[in-house]
Structure 1
Amino acid sequence: MWSMTQGERPSSPAPALDSLTAGVQAAAGKGPPPVHLWNPAYCGEIDMRIAADGTWFYMGTPIGRPALVKLFASVLRKDPERFVLVTPVERVGIRVDDAPFVAVAMETRGEGAGRALAFRTNVDDWVIADSSHPLRFEREATGGLRPYVLVRGELWARVSRPVFYDLVELGEERDVAGVAMFGVASAGTFFPMAEAAELAAQLAAGEDAP
């Protein structure tokens, strides 16, 4: 059931799901738990995985209770070595296939230069893309782009395909260091997606835009 990273030894057996849930509930209070302040002993890896589509699994079975997923998500943290669920008394590793969250909706707030783009994640967190919560665009093997928005700490949300289409509709060209770039602006920050000439060539060839 449990596995350890090579060379590490747990200080105690990794907790079962019920025990971990109880610990998370005890740690939860009003507002986001201060997981960045907690540094309990590492207790091993629990058989929990977050799939690329944002589904949480425990021992190969999807966790069907949204409230439980939100509870675990509230104590998720990215340590240098791994993703962990952390409480004041225990810290366990989990697997994440891509990003731990998915941005499933977007809304615009304000207009013109003051416009901000707010994203809702699959666990109902809201984040506004800005200099502290940037958008990034990774190149896929197929040539397309894979977009992400930083939620908190080192935890990113992959922007779902329908939301990405909405994002592209808001895009514009700007000069970045002498290069015409296509991107999107939010809260006073411009986030380049790709070179404008590259996108024009794709469209001319009949290929899908990123």
Structure 2
Amino acid sequence: MPMPPPPDLANLSLAQIAQLAGEKSLPPVSQWDPRHCGNSEMRIARDGTWYHQGSPIGRPAMVRLFSTILRREPDGGYVLVTPVEKLDIVVEDAPFTAVEMKTEGSGRERNLAFRLNTGELVPADADHPIRFEAREDGPHPYLSVRDGLEALIARPLYYDLAEIAIADDETPPGVWSGGAFFAMAA
């Protein structure tokens, strides 16, 4: 059965986004413990592009499908897992990229939601915190997606978050979402 296309974030309220995110049924990859079978010959590049044997995976539905069986291992590595096999996958930075953001409310009442490059919708809240990592090339913001998997928040969205933080004038600078505060300092 083909996977449906991702919903359009612009036409959804944050309440609808939260409902869709809550209804999302993912495979129980944390409960599966198959034997390790080797390397998947797949890689997720820093920009969120998925590759197989060096070529980009051009079908978004395939990327969405693979993203549902992705798991972070206790050693920090990543695997694609099914009930019968487990294959390593290389992740250069984060396995997902937040490519679109929706905001409602202001200050402490603000709610943010993100659409990932896989189409998945994730609200920013205490269960899905935003963190900022300082690097030589500037801050890198991440959104917790699930079970140790994160999304790198795209640079234009980081600038939107910075504008919100400046407008809200919090000390330390940061953003509120879902009743939780996320300081922008790393």
TM category, shorter: 0.7 to 0.9
Greater length-normalized contact order (CA 8 Å, ≥ 6 residues apart): 2
Deviation of residue 194 (structure 1)? 2.6
Deviation of residue 111 (structure 1)? 4.6
Match of 2:161 among 167, 172, 176: 167
- Relative distance call for 1:113 and 1:181 in structure 2 (3 A) is closer
Q: Deviations over 1:14-67 (max 9, x none)?
A: xxxxxxxxxxxxxxxx82111111111111112110000000011111111111
Match of 2:178 among 171, 183, 187: 187
In the alignment, the residues of structure 1 paired with residue 107 and residue 97 of structure 2 have an alpha-carbon distance, to the nearest angstrom, of: 27
| TM-score between the two structures when normalised by the length of structure 1 | 0.72
Give the conservation status (yes or no) of the 8 Å contact 2:95–2:149.
yes
Residue 73 (1) aligns with residue 70 (2)? no
Extract structure 1 runs of 4+ deviating beyond 4 A. none
**Number of residue-to-residue matches in the alignment:** 160
The equivalent of 2:139 in structure 1 is: 145
Computed over aligned residues only, the root mean square deviation of the Cα atoms, in angstroms, reads: 1.6
Deviation of residue 173 (structure 1)? 3.5
The equivalent of 2:122 in structure 1 is: 127
Secondary structure of the residue that 1:194 maps to in structure 2?
Answer: coil
Matches within 5 A, 1:3-82: 31-81=25-75, 82=77
Match of 2:131 among 131, 136, 150: 136
In the alignment, the residues of structure 2 paired with residue 87 and residue 141 of structure 1 have an alpha-carbon distance, to the nearest angstrom, of: 38
Higher Rg of the two aligned structures? 1
Q: Deviations over 1:70-115 (max 9, x none)?
A: 1100110001231000111111111000000000000013455332
In the alignment, the residues of structure 1 paired with residue 32 and residue 53 of structure 2 have an alpha-carbon distance, to the nearest angstrom, of: 26
Equivalent position amino acid for 1:101 in 2: F
Which runs of 5 or more residues in structure 2 are unaligned?
1-23
In the alignment, the residues of structure 2 paired with residue 130 and residue 84 of structure 1 have an alpha-carbon distance, to the nearest angstrom, of: 26
In the alignment, the residues of structure 2 paired with residue 55 and residue 167 of structure 1 have an alpha-carbon distance, to the nearest angstrom, of: 23
Deviation of residue 193 (structure 1)? 0.8
| Identity in percent | 52
Equivalent position amino acid for 1:77 in 2: R
Secondary structure of the residue that 1:191 maps to in structure 2?
Answer: strand
Give the conservation status (yes or no) of the 8 Å contact 2:109–2:176.
no
